[in-house]
């Protein structure tokens, strides 16, 4: 998962050039900071995260609030708004429509959170998640979660959908051969995931489930779980428009 960018964690991205909108860049960084934060953030906290004056953050937040992309809590802090899911629903709508019922069955059948991941440059981004309805306890995994393609079962699965790359991890070749990938504690400590790639007209995607490490029979029956995730990926491909 991503972590907030701030003075203690410098932004790794290059500074916006003259051909880019600095205001838009800051607005997007506000949304990213709110997504990464474990709780709503104040204007002062966001200003420190972006390393800009509070008045700049205030103007950005007012604009984002007008478009329902952020909202204020009772104590005056800010959190992501209800307008974001509406926008996200428009991303790959055919893929999301085909994946939703399959992910729902996978989540309920395994008792694990199931999710759909797509690549963006060198990152794997969670596009859609479904939590099991009758599970006593499960891992929550939010849409928008991102991590490097080279880490975690979803990233490995996405890489396995393409041709071999120079210096790629052995796990990618294994996933390419058997059809699914497994990782343990690579993205979030204490969590394991299993993922399988699927191919769409627009490129690759991956179906994945996430669970706590050492979760009883899951660790012993990983191959069976991989087969179920792979079957879900194939079903989504068959249902794509």
The rounded Cα 169 to chain-centroid distance in angstroms is 21
**Which of 86, 107, 139 delimits the end of a domain?**
86
**Which of 86, 112, 134 delimits the end of a domain?**
86
Q: Could you tell me if 96 and 54 lie in one domain?
A: no
How many domains are there within the chain?
Answer: 2
Q: Could you tell me if 105 and 26 lie in one domain?
A: no
Q: Could you tell me if 30 and 140 lie in one domain?
A: no
Instruction: Give all strands (DSSP E) within the chain, no chain letters.
Output: 70-72, 78-80, 113-120, 123-130, 146-148, 181-184, 191-200, 203-212
Identify the pLDDT of residue 12: 43
User: Domain holding 226: CATH number?
Assistant: 3.30.450.40
Q: Tens-of-pLDDT digits for all 241 residues of the chain?
A: 333 333 344 444 444 455 778 888 898 899 888 887 888 999 999 999 999 999 999 999 999 988 888 889 999 999 888 676 656 655 567 788 889 999 999 999 998 999 999 888 888 888 888 988 876 667 777 777 888 888 899 999 999 999 998 989 999 999 999 999 999 988 888 888 999 999 887 788 999 999 887 664 555 588 999 999 999 999 999 988 7
pTM of the model: 0.67
Residue 63 lies in a domain: yes
Nearest to 75 by CA among 43, 97, 99, 112: 43
> Is the Cβ–Cβ distance between 181 and 198 less than 8 Å?
no
User: Domain holding 45: CATH number?
Assistant: 1.10.10.10
Q: Could you tell me if 80 and 184 lie in one domain?
A: no
Q: Could you tell me if 122 and 178 lie in one domain?
A: yes
Identify the pLDDT of residue 81: 82
Q: Could you tell me if 150 and 48 lie in one domain?
A: no
Residue 147 lies in a domain: yes
Residue 2 lies in a domain: no
| Domain membership of residue 77 as a residue range | 22-86
Nearest to 147 by CA among 7, 36, 38: 36
Nearest to 128 by CA among 99, 158, 156, 105: 99
**Which of 65, 86, 107 delimits the end of a domain?**
86
> Is the Cβ–Cβ distance between 193 and 187 less than 8 Å?
yes
């Amino acid at each position: 998962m991503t972590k907030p960018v701030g003075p203690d964690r410098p932004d790794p991205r290059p500074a916006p050039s003259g051909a880019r909108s600095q205001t838009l860049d800051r607005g997007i960084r506000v949304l990213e900071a709110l997504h990464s934060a474990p709780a709503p953030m104040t204007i002062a906290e966001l200003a420190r995260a972006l390393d800009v004056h509070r008045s700049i953050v205030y103007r950005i937040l007012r604009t984002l609030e007008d478009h329902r992309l952020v909202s204020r809590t009772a104590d005056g802090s800010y959190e992501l708004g209800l307008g974001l899911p509406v926008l996200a629903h428009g991303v790959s709508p055919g893929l999301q429509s085909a994946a939703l019922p399959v992910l729902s069955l996978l989540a309920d059948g395994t008792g694990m959170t199931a999710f759909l991941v797509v690549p963006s440059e060198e990152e794997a981004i969670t596009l859609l998640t479904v939590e099991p309805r009758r599970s006593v306890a499960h891992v929550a995994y939010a849409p928008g979660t991102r991590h490097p393609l080279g880490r975690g079962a979803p990233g490995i699965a996405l890489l396995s959908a393409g041709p071999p790359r120079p210096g790629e991890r052995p796990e990618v070749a294994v996933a390419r051969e058997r059809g699914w990938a497994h990782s343990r504690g690579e993205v979030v400590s204490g969590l394991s995931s299993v993922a399988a790639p699927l191919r769409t007209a627009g490129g690759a995607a991956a179906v994945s489930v996430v669970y706590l490490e050492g979760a009883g029979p899951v660790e012993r029956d990983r191959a069976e779980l991989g087969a179920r995730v792979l079957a879900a990926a194939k079903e989504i491909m068959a249902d794509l428009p």
